[in-house]
């Protein structure tokens, strides 16, 4: 009996200790069941270790032990195993929840990336729209400036159209000589050069068909009508733009008697020269929006008249 009492005392001590350890483990496990995955795993491991320890405490042969105590011990072990299983299931559930959270996070990242792409696209469109707006504003301001320029040019054009000759200068050429005297041969003539500068806002034309009148030898008018010298490399002036220059070669045919008179003046070294006489060289403006009346050139010279001795002489005219 003493041996049995000692054995029971030791057994009950182990049972009490084991039950206390089991209870403590369960309470700790319940308190931390909502912790993160690592904590749950650690708690499950601790509970399994406590369970294994309790199993080791079970005696190999205890025929004289109290059956009720043994059953109570087995029930406590079973409950501990059930709780451990519950924790394992809870852990798997939390893993599944974590996967759902990760999938939701990935969807959120994808949605966020799409929103960023849309925002960038709208930013580009906004910049393009701003650029278009600035371009339209620039064009509008440019058109206003051009309209102002056109209005200013229109006023100038209307004023110049009243008398185009005041805006086209014509000056006799004097260097290296004013022209050429052809006093021998089948064609007797005097040629003079006229430098034309278009200072108007129109394109101007000077054609030989409209020329009338004659040059003069001092106050003497030559008998034949003057004209333009036209050749393979020299033509009339057609649509001379504003600010441009051109050269006209006027041709005055001579009669024999007029050529002889010029020779005599040359021999006497007389201060006699060629002048405009009653020559009319009309200025034409074509394709203008307003009507521009034809007006004759107003020819000027640095010397009046063009002295015969300054002309080039050609006595070999064939």
Per-residue pLDDT of 135-168, as tens digits, reads 786 776 676 576 566 778 889 999 999 999 999 9
User: pLDDT, tens digit, for every residue of 247-283?
Assistant: 999 999 999 999 999 999 999 999 999 999 999 999 9
One domain, residues 91 and 175? no
Residue range of the domain that includes 265: 166-314
Give φ, ψ of 81 to 5 degrees: -65, -40
Sign of CA dihedral 231, 233, 238, 244: negative
79 and 175, same domain (yes or no): no
pLDDT at 230: 87
For residues 305 and 192, membership in a common domain is answered with yes
Residue 123 has pLDDT above 50, yes or no: yes
Q: Give the CATH number of the domain where residue 279 resides.
A: 2.60.40
Lowest mean pLDDT of 37-41, 59-63, 305-309, name the range: 59-63
- Cα separation, 160 vs 151, in Å, equals 14
Place of tokens 């063009």: 306
Q: How many domains does the chain divide into?
A: 2
Q: How confident is the model at residue 28 (pLDDT cuts 50, 70, 90)?
A: very low
* Highest averaged pLDDT of the listed ranges 78-82, 170-174, 300-304: 170-174
- What's 209-267 look like in SS3? HHCECCCEECCEECCCCCEECCECCECCEEEECCCCEEEEEEEEECCHHHHHHHHHHHH
Residue 78 pLDDT class (50, 70, 90 cuts) = confident
Asked if pLDDT for residue 225 goes beyond 90, the answer is yes
């Amino acid at each position: 009996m003493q041996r049995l009492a000692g054995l029971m005392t030791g057994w009950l001590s182990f049972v009490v200790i084991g039950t206390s350890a089991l209870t403590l483990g369960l309470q700790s496990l319940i308190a931390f069941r909502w912790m993160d995955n690592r904590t749950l795993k650690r708690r499950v491991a601790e509970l399994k270790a406590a369970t294994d320890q309790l199993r080791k405490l079970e005696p190999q042969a205890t025929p004289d032990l109290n059956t009720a105590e043994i059953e109570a011990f087995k029930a406590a072990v079973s409950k501990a195993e059930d709780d451990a299983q519950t924790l394992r299931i809870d852990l798997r559930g939390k893993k599944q929840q974590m996967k759902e959270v990760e999938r939701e996070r990935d969807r959120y990242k994808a949605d966020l990336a799409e929103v960023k792409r849309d925002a960038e696209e709208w930013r580009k469109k906004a910049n393009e729209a701003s650029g278009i707006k600035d371009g339209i504003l620039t064009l509008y301001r440019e058109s206003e400036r051009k309209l102002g320029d056109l209005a200013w040019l229109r006023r100038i054009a209307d004023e110049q159209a009243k008398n185009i000759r005041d805006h086209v200068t014509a000056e006799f050429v004097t260097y290296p000589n004013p022209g050429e005297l052809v006093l021998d041969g089948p064609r007797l003539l005097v040629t003079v050069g006229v430098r034309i500068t278009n200072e108007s806002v129109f394109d101007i034309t000077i054609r030989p068909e409209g020329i009338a009148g004659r040059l003069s030898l001092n106050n003497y008018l030559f008998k034949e009508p003057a004209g333009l010298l036209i050749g393979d490399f020299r033509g009339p002036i057609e649509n001379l733009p504003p600010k441009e220059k051109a050269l006209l070669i006027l041709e005055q045919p001579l009669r024999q008697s007029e050529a002889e008179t010029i020779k005599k003046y040359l021999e006497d070294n007389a201060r006699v020269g060629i002048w405009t006489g009653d020559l009319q060289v009309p200025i034409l403006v074509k394709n203008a929006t307003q009507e521009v009346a034809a007006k004759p050139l107003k020819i000027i010279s640095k010397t009046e008249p063009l002295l015969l001795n300054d002309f080039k002489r050609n006595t070999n005219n064939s």
